[in-house]
Structure 1
Amino acid sequence: MTTKFFDRLSNDLTQFLEDPIDYNVSIKVGEAPNDQIFKVHSYILQSRSPYFKKKFNEIHFNNDHVKVLTTSDTNVSIKIFNVIIKYLYGGIISLEKLENSVIFDLLIASNEFELDELVKHLQIYIVNNNASWLRLNFAQVYQTSYQVKNLEIIQDFCNNIIAKHPNTIFESENFLTLPDDALISIIKRDDLQLEEVKVWEYVIQWGKAKNRTLPTNLDEWTYDNFLTLKEALKQCLPNIRYFNLSHEDVLDKIFPYQNILEPKLFLDINSKLMAPTRQISSTVLPPRKILTKTLPTRNILIPLFSNIITNEHALEISSWIDKKEKAIPYIENNPYEFELLIRGSRDGFDVKTFYNICHKVSNTVIVLKVEGTEEILGGYNPIGWDKNRNQWRKTQDSFAFSLKTSNMKNSILSRGKNNAIHNFPRDLSFGFGFALSLYENLKIKKKSFCMIDSDYKKPVRSDEFLSFSWSNPSHNALFSVEEYEVYKISPKII
């Protein structure tokens, strides 16, 4: 039987970092005057990281028998290097208190230092715990995943999103600069939810963008122009499902570019259209698996993964978004997706975190459970949040609300007007006018309140819990938050 005392080993090795006796490497991180010197031991670092093993072999000892190294070529911050060096010595890493952007930067730095174990762990952690942040920063994340090696897990996550929602990338401003291998990995997928003729059109558009000297008018193209485009697309063309195109698509879309295809392939495409049962020598790729979304059957609700609201609450909020409170509200088949962006118990309750994640995100719903009263309050902002400016934002389509609970018979809806959105990042506050004002750390600080507001039709709390002054709110009006969630609201794709 083998007994492993890893905890003690980790603690003992970490002591060498905290008290660097007999250190023989000095690593400078950051730029003066805010740089920091890390005194470390070469045997530990080079045994844990191929990057440091190579670097230390390239550097000679100085007169003090110390090798001096800087990390200027990696652009790693002091904060991130602190995390990495503790991992190298003790094999320990804690991510709970790090912002999502810092964790992603940590992933990139770990990859530069060739820490394969940590790179894999961080990718799995980000995908499982910070998926909403990845979606909000999709363009940056996706581009980085192909610029940096070894991020296959992040790549797969992004490609799964693109397969289901192709416009995410094909209609983005970054599409024409997409790396070759990124485009190929997308169009290879059997589950890409895009008509084959559209795949062809996007590929042609991408290929032309790589060769800006090609004539705009196709009638002016020479044979050499077609050869140029063919060369640019040589890795893409084999992944088009030519034999799933209609007669019209072949005539209108393929025929004008027949010179970029191998003659035998173009002949087989036409032969198959004229004689579908005839054998051909070209490879026939299977049709893409286009998903058909069906609405849930009557009275069956898709579970909403919320710690605060139910499906019935979500239907009611969706009805308010579409201004159906005076008509027939939704009672089934919610037309909107509720994508979770923030959960306080997962991402933290600081207002700064809220602004960092929700910056420039429109159509958001905030829901919160008041500590001690079981009230569920919230609001809808159609125009987005701005982390860089203190301002009142005008909209006629926002609303604040309190939702029906076991202690409250009916929900309250209060529609906004004029200065309806309270957007004050520098004051660490946000909300819906003064109908619902949220401050600092929502859980720790008891500073949030509701009051009667001329920009909202009715208060969302009972009179006993309302403040009559925004500058000096009454004590019984102040509250903290037990839990809160922020959702991005988007029409369902049917």
Structure 2
Amino acid sequence: MITKFYERLSNDLTQLLENLIDHNVTIEVGEAPINQIFKVHSYILQSRSTYFKKKFDETPFNENYIKKLKISNISAKMFNFIIKYIYGGTISLENLEISIIFGLLIASLELDLDELVEHFQTHLVTNNASWLKLNFAQVLQTSYHKNLEIIRSFCNNIISKHPNIIFESDNFNSLPENVLISIIELDDLQLEEDKIWDYVIQWGRAKNPTFPTNLNEWTSDNFLTLKTTLKDCFPHIRYFNISSEKVVEKFYPYQQLFEPKLWSDINIKFLAPNKPISATILPPRKIISSTLPSRTTLIPFDIISNEHALEISSWIDRKETPYTAENNPYEFELLVRGSRDGFDVKNIYEICDKVSKTVIVLKVEGTREIIGGYNPLEIRNNIYRQYFYSKDSFIFSLKTENLKNSIVSRVKNFNSAIYYNPSRSYLDFGSALNLRGNLITRKKSYCGTANYEKQIRSNEDEFSVKEFEIFKISLLK
């Protein structure tokens, strides 16, 4: 039996980095004026990274027996995080912004740290899928690095199910050719073949902006240039899975783009379907249904509207403008409704125990106000009164006929963001939205001012509710 003392080893090596004993390498990281010099040990770095082994082999020692390197495309902040991993083998992503984690992924690729690359990919896909969707164009282009299989699979899955996320994006025409090809070769791309043809032509024409807008004004040279532009895309079009009507509508205007033999085979296939042809017939795409998946879902709202839901979704991701039905990444699953499940707060704890990422909305009795809050934490039914940390929770008052604009109030005291007290039927967002007992029969709930940025009601009067709902927020599948 082998006993492994990895924790002690990690601590000792981390101390070696901090104490700078016998360093023989200095690395200047970042660009002036925020660059930083790191003093490190070549034998540790080159044993952990092929990038550093190659760099050290190429770099001679100076007269002081020190090797000097410069890395300008990685920030000092990120390199400090990575160098601690190299020495101690530990990382902590807690409280890091998602953009920083994504930047660390790119830096780890640069430095050939395969273990970190896999870890960051898994973390982002598992915990930050909505951010990846919001920054999809950037993520997609990055995903085609050979070592980003997890991110690439994530992107391909989204594109297959929701092709408009890329084909209708503002960045479509600027996609690199290899990215476009990787998309149109997907067997399960949920898009009719004639529309794929249209997008490929659109992309090719965008690469040749001087062409006449009117196709009838094109010269033979224009068609030849476009044919050359798209030569590597054409093999992935499934020409024989398009109806004869679409062939006439889509292909005939561009027949000069086709090789003579392929054009002949396309015509033969639709004029004499049983006659053999020499062209390769690619299998049809695996379209799930004739109706493509929608970016919207039917939501069982009673208190709020779809517009309210889009507004709440945008607040979750800190978007300045609300999502639309087409780009909203979230769905709302109804968990609790007061008129159906009871109005006592203890029912919330019982039904929603261990459920995270919830939104509660309440219709205030007698005022027509709609207020609520977003709780990213697990609801806990087995604890004795306790505050919990969150930097992402918020409370709100939604726009109604009596309120001109919605109000969102984010947590400012992270340590007192959420308060659970199941034994007394209390559920609080700090002290800013406080739910007490039976919400319909007891007029004891109230909105205060502590721990969140602003009040969501004009007063702190106690209130009861006419109805309330709780939704589980999750990413659209």
**TM-score, reference length from structure 2:** 0.71
The aligned amino acid for 1:443 is I
1:321 equivalent to 2:296? Answer: no
Deviations 1:153-179 (A, max 9, x none): 212211111111111011111010111
Question: Using the alignment, how far apart are the partners of 2:247 and 2:445 within structure 1?
Answer: 68
Matches within 5 A, 1:451-462: none
Question: Using the alignment, how far apart are the partners of 2:448 and 2:142 within structure 1?
Answer: 50
Residue in 2 that maps onto 1:443: 418
The aligned amino acid for 2:9 is L
Distance 1:25 1:17, change over 3 A: same
Matches within 5 A, 1:2-17: 2-17=2-17
SS of the equivalent of 1:316 reads: coil
SS of the equivalent of 2:120 reads: helix
Structure 1 residue 69 displacement after superposition: 2.5
Residue in 2 that maps onto 1:463: 443
Contact 2:431 2:448 in 1 (8 A): no
Residue in 2 that maps onto 1:229: 226
1:29 equivalent to 2:19? Answer: no
1:400 equivalent to 2:371? Answer: yes
Question: Using the alignment, how far apart are the partners of 1:103 and 1:136 within structure 2?
Answer: 15
Question: Using the alignment, how far apart are the partners of 2:260 and 2:211 within structure 1?
Answer: 22
RMSD: 4.2
Residue in 1 that maps onto 2:166: 169
Matches within 5 A, 1:259-278: 259-278=256-275
Question: Using the alignment, how far apart are the partners of 2:138 and 2:313 within structure 1?
Answer: 17
2:138 to 137, 140, 159: 140
Residue in 1 that maps onto 2:339: none
Residue in 2 that maps onto 1:77: 75
Question: Using the alignment, how far apart are the partners of 2:25 and 2:93 within structure 1?
Answer: 27
Residue in 2 that maps onto 1:95: 93
Deviations 1:128-177 (A, max 9, x none): 2211211122122123324x553232122111111111110111110101
The aligned amino acid for 2:251 is I
Distance 1:489 1:27, change over 3 A: closer
SS of the equivalent of 2:405 reads: strand
Residue in 1 that maps onto 2:115: 117
Distance 1:132 1:355, change over 3 A: closer
Contact 1:400 1:415 in 2 (8 A): no
**TM-score, reference length from structure 1:** 0.69
Question: Using the alignment, how far apart are the partners of 2:91 and 2:225 within structure 1?
Answer: 50
Structure 1 residue 361 displacement after superposition: 4.1
Question: Using the alignment, how far apart are the partners of 1:2 and 1:340 within structure 2?
Answer: 53
Question: Using the alignment, how far apart are the partners of 2:175 and 2:258 within structure 1?
Answer: 22
Residue in 2 that maps onto 1:19: 19
Structure 1 residue 44 displacement after superposition: 0.8
Question: Using the alignment, how far apart are the partners of 1:124 and 1:20 within structure 2?
Answer: 33
The aligned amino acid for 2:104 is L
Distance 1:414 1:249, change over 3 A: closer
SS of the equivalent of 1:266 reads: helix
Question: Using the alignment, how far apart are the partners of 2:246 and 2:31 within structure 1?
Answer: 58
Residue in 2 that maps onto 1:247: 244
Structure 1 residue 476 displacement after superposition: 9.0
1:362 to 323, 344, 362: 323
Contact 1:377 1:402 in 2 (8 A): yes
Contact 1:340 1:486 in 2 (8 A): no
Residue in 1 that maps onto 2:285: 288
Contact 1:187 1:199 in 2 (8 A): yes
2:102 to 101, 104, 127: 104
2:194 to 174, 194, 197: 197
Distance 1:398 1:357, change over 3 A: farther
Question: Using the alignment, how far apart are the partners of 2:268 and 2:109 within structure 1?
Answer: 50
Question: Using the alignment, how far apart are the partners of 1:175 and 1:140 within structure 2?
Answer: 12
Aligned residues: 396
Matches within 5 A, 1:333-348: none
Residue in 1 that maps onto 2:386: none
Contact 2:28 2:70 in 1 (8 A): yes
Question: Using the alignment, how far apart are the partners of 1:181 and 1:339 within structure 2?
Answer: 36
SS of the equivalent of 2:38 reads: strand
Question: Using the alignment, how far apart are the partners of 2:187 and 2:458 within structure 1?
Answer: 61
| 5+ long unaligned stretches in structure 2 | 292-296, 325-329, 337-344, 349-357, 363-367, 375-396, 420-428, 450-454, 464-469
Question: Using the alignment, how far apart are the partners of 1:20 and 1:340 within structure 2?
Answer: 50
Structure 1 residue 239 displacement after superposition: 0.8
Residue in 1 that maps onto 2:180: 183
Residue in 1 that maps onto 2:360: 378
The aligned amino acid for 1:463 is K
Residue in 2 that maps onto 1:43: 43
Residue in 1 that maps onto 2:56: 56
Question: Using the alignment, how far apart are the partners of 2:143 and 2:235 within structure 1?
Answer: 24
The aligned amino acid for 2:418 is K
Deviations 1:24-69 (A, max 9, x none): 1122334555443321101111121122222223333334322232
Deviations 1:309-328 (A, max 9, x none): xx9xx6235x74269xxxxx
Q: Out of 359-368 and 46-55, give the one that drifted further.
A: 359-368
Question: Using the alignment, how far apart are the partners of 2:11 and 2:404 within structure 1?
Answer: 55
The aligned amino acid for 1:421 is S
Report % sequence identity. 51
SS of the equivalent of 1:27 reads: strand
Contact 1:339 1:487 in 2 (8 A): no
Structure 1 residue 271 displacement after superposition: 0.6
Contact 1:25 1:41 in 2 (8 A): yes
The aligned amino acid for 1:464 is K
The aligned amino acid for 1:55 is K
The aligned amino acid for 2:121 is Q
SS of the equivalent of 1:378 reads: strand
